[in-house]
A and B are shown apart, each in its own frame.
Chain A
Amino acid sequence: MTSRTGLPLLFALLLASWPVRADAQSQKSVSITPVQSLSFGLLVPGIRGTVRITDVSRRAVVALAGKGPVDITLVLPSSLDSPTGERIPLQFSTGDAAFLNADGSTISTLDPLQANRVTLRNDRTILFVLGGTAVTATTTRPGQYTARVTLLVNQPGT
C-alpha cells in the first residue's frame, strides 16, 4: 500500500519538474543583434588607424538580450583583406571592447582577446562594443578592405 500511495506522488513530482524545465529554457534564450560594423573609414597608407570604443560612429556595436550570465568570446580577424589578397594587419588589446548599458553608460571595459562574462536581464539590453587598430604600411595599396568578427555567446549551464 505504501508503494501504491507513493506512485501518484512520484508522478506528481515528475510532472512538477516539467514546468521548471520549461522555465529554465526560457531563461536561457539569448539574442545577438549586430547594430553597427567596425569601420576604420578612410586610411592613409603608412598611418595607423585606431577606432576607440568611445567612437560612436565607427566602433562595432552588438546588442545582447536575454537573461542570466553569458560568456562572450570573439574570433578576431588578424587582418582586413582586399579582394585581390592585400592585407592590413589588425591589432586588438585590452580596452578595445566594453559592455555598455543601452543608454551608453559603461558597465565594464574588456580585453577582447579573452572570454568575458556579463549577466543579462530580461528588462534591459546590453551593448557590446569593439574597437581596434588597423596598421597600414606605405606600401598598402588603395582600395576597400574587409573582415568579419565572430561572436560566440555561451550561456553556461545552471
Chain B
Amino acid sequence: MNRTLRLVAALGMLAIPTLAQAQSITGSIAASATIQSVFAFGAPSALSFGNVTPGTAATGSGYIPMQRNIGVIYSMPDGNATGALTGPGGTIQPTYTCGVGTTSAAITTAFANCTSTSALFTVTAASVSGLVNEWVIFNGSLSAAQTNTVPGVYSGTIHVLATPN
C-alpha cells in the first residue's frame, strides 16, 4: 500500500515541473537595402576658340564633368563630325584631342581619337571602388588655313556618349 502511495505521489510530482517549463520559439525577418547607381554628367564648360583673326591659328579647351560609382564606356556618337563648326563660310572641322582627367585642367588618360562611335575608354564596374569624379576634356585647334574664311559666328556641339558598364 505504501508503495502505491509513493508511486502516486511521484506521478503527481512529475506533473509539477511540466508546469514550470519555459517555452521558446524563434522567428526571423528580412532586412534589405539597394545602393543606388550614380551616373551623371554635370554642367559642361564650353570649348571656345574666342575671337579669331582670319589666317591665324586658334585653340580652345572645354570639358564636361562626370560623376559615377559604376563602370563607363565613352564614345563619340557623331563620329567624324564630332564638334564640327558651321557658320557663314560653311563647315569647319577642328582638330581635337580628348580624354578624361582627374581634374578639369588636364587630360590624364587620352582617347585614341575623338571621332570613334566605338568604345574609346572603358572602365569596368569591378574596378570602381567608390564614387568617381572625372572630366571628359576636349582640346581643339584650328589651323590658319581653316580660319581664313568668311567672317561670322561658327558653332557646333560635341556629343559625348557615356554608357554604364
Contacts and interface: CB of A to CB of B under 8 A. Distances in A.
Given A31-B25, A80-B31, 15 more contacts: A10-B8, A13-B12, A32-B26, A33-B27, A37-B31, A37-B32, A38-B30, A41-B33, A45-B36, A60-B29, A134-B33, A141-B129, A144-B32, A149-B29, A158-B19
| Residue among A29, A46, A139, A142 having the largest count of chain B Cβ atoms under 10 Å | A142
B29 A143 contact: no
Interface residues of A, number: 65
B27 to A, nearest CB: 3
B11 A80 contact: no
B34 A44 contact: no
Interface residues of B, number: 37
Contacts, number: 164
Contact of A146 (B9, B11, B32, B69): B32
Interface of B: 1-2, 4-5, 8-9, 11-12, 15, 18-38, 69-70, 125, 128-131
A62 B29 contact: yes
Interface in A42-91: 42-46, 49, 60, 62, 77, 80, 88, 90
Contacts of A6: 5
A155 B22 contact: yes
B118 to A, nearest CB: 26
Interface string A110-148: 000000000000000000001010101111111111111
B37 to A, nearest CB: 4
Given A13-B12, A138-B130, A88 B35 contact: yes
